[in-house]
Amino acid sequence: MQEIGKAVKSNVYLADNFSDLTMFLEKINSRTLWVVDTNTARLVRPLPEAHVIIGSNEGSKSLKSVQEIITAASDRNFSRTDTFVAMGGGLVTDTVAFAASIYKRGCRLLLIPSTLLAMTDASIGGKTAVNFSNTKNLIGTFYPANDVIICPDYLKSLPEKTYKCGLAEIIKASFLTKNDDLMKELVLNKDKILSRDMETLKRVITLSVRIKCAYVNNDPCEEKGIRKALNFGHTFGHALESLKRMNVTHGEAVAWGMAKAAKAALDKRLCDEDLVKSLMYLLSVYGFDTAYRINPGDWNEYRRYLFKDKKVKNGALKFILLKEQGRPVEAELDEALLKSIVADI
């Protein structure tokens, strides 16, 4: 068990298998509203009477879905002590968590992440969000779940592309700590990780969650600047995801964004080449394409999405760069450098 936050604590549990997960769910002593997407709905048979099914595409991470969830709870006269249960990937956990945070000013929340990305990142740390006006995560709150149950058995049936999304966040975590345990797992057990060996994945997930929890515990609501480090690669990546003509997953965008952030740090002489080579090696062996460059005609749109980022303050956009493993820093990048890093000019 890992505790997150201060005022509100999330208990994060690692279930050994589906039977272990079922035993935990049988102990819930409140009414529950289950929310799943069209992909995970087939994993819950039969679905509880009180349930909502939302779409599995990014367009469903919306205020419309939040309204559906809250309407279902309100129609059943759910109280603040009743529980919203979200089972699915980050799209589902982020959306349901936001709905829980505003329903009657906050009700109980249980997250059951079903993707590697959600297990190691989206469900951990209390950030909730929905997209708005073609912008990723524009509307959100801080609202830690009461409980998060991670069951790696879900990973066995994931499509390859969906599975790999989470690997980008795990690679990110390995560079945000001076402890080498996670990085050693990524380097030495690549084949086991890619083949989804359960025992290896349990270790990798546990190490990754501990790294994120350490940042969250020290800065639960991103007030001290410590937690911003978790945005490594995300500022570049979120803007890429928002480009209308792009069709990239969150993991692919974050991997691309980390490569661009590494190049920026090298150009600014913040880090040495060995750090960049280490990062690029891991991104490469896990199959991420980081060579893509934005067409000149897309630069203005890409730049516009960059400056919609939540980290813009007084018109200045800050990026998370690395000085060395475990030493993230915040830095501004001038437009000329930005364009040279990401655009095909």
Considering the chain, what is the average pLDDT of its residues? 93
Q: Is the pLDDT of residue 126 over 90?
A: yes
Q: What is the CATH number of the domain that holds 192?
A: 1.20.1090.10
Chain mean position to CA 194: 19
Per-residue pLDDT tens digits for 20-66: 999 999 888 889 999 999 999 988 888 899 999 999 988 999 999 99
Per-residue pLDDT tens digits for 182-225: 999 999 999 999 999 999 999 999 999 999 999 999 998 888 98
Which residue range forms the structural domain that includes residue 71?
2-158
Say yes or no: 214 and 244 in one domain: yes
Say yes or no: 236 and 130 in one domain: no
Are 336 and 189 in contact by the 8 Å Cβ rule? The answer is no
- Least trusted range by pLDDT, from 232-246, 247-261, 282-296: 232-246
> Residue written as tokens 């099914």?
53
Say yes or no: 296 and 315 in one domain: yes
State the Cα–Cα distance between residues 174 and 281, nearest whole angstrom: 13
Say yes or no: 251 and 227 in one domain: yes
Closest CA to 322 of 229, 234, 227: 229
Say yes or no: 207 and 277 in one domain: yes
Q: Report residue 13's pLDDT band, with 50, 70 and 90 as the boundaries.
A: very high
Say yes or no: 22 and 80 in one domain: yes
Say yes or no: 171 and 97 in one domain: no
Q: Is the pLDDT of residue 232 over 90?
A: yes
φ and ψ of 95, to 5 deg: -70, -45
Number of structural domains found in the chain: 2
C-alpha atoms less than 13 angstroms from C-alpha of 224 in its C-beta half-sphere = 8
Q: Residue 66: what pLDDT?
A: 98
Cα–Cα distance list, 101 to 77, 94, 109, 225 (Å): 17, 11, 9, 23
Say yes or no: 144 and 236 in one domain: no
Q: Which of 124, 158, 192 is the last residue of a domain?
A: 158
How many Å is the Cα radius of gyration of the chain? 20
Q: Which of 158, 183, 203 is the last residue of a domain?
A: 158
Q: For the chain, how far is it from start to end, CA to CA, in angstroms? A: 49
Amino acid at site 222: E
Are 234 and 294 in contact by the 8 Å Cβ rule? The answer is no
Neighbours of 279 (CB within 10 A): 25
Long-range contact set of residues 253-258: C-beta below 8 Å, sequence gap at least 24: 254/168, 254/169, 254/172, 255/168, 255/171, 255/283, 255/288, 255/289, 255/290, 256/288, 256/289, 256/290, 256/292, 257/233, 258/168, 258/171, 258/172, 258/175, 258/232, 258/233, 258/283, 258/290
Say yes or no: 145 and 167 in one domain: no
Q: Which of 135, 158, 181 is the last residue of a domain?
A: 158
Per-residue pLDDT tens digits for 305-342: 998 877 777 777 899 999 999 999 999 998 899 999 99
Contacts of 256 (CB under 8 A, 6+ apart): 233, 236, 237, 240, 248, 288, 289, 290, 292
Per-residue pLDDT tens digits for 65-82: 999 999 999 999 999 999
Say yes or no: 125 and 174 in one domain: no
Say yes or no: 145 and 169 in one domain: no
Q: Report residue 1's pLDDT band, with 50, 70 and 90 as the boundaries.
A: very low
Query: Could you give the dihedral angle defined by the CA atoms of residues 92, 54, 157 and 123, in that order, rounded to the nearest 10 degrees?
Result: 10
Q: What is the CATH number of the domain that holds 142?
A: 3.40.50.1970
State the Cα–Cα distance between residues 83 and 73, nearest whole angstrom: 10
- Residue 328's H or E segment, with its range, is strand 327-332
Say yes or no: 167 and 301 in one domain: yes
Whether the ω angle into residue 46 lies within 30 degrees of 0, i.e. cis, is: yes
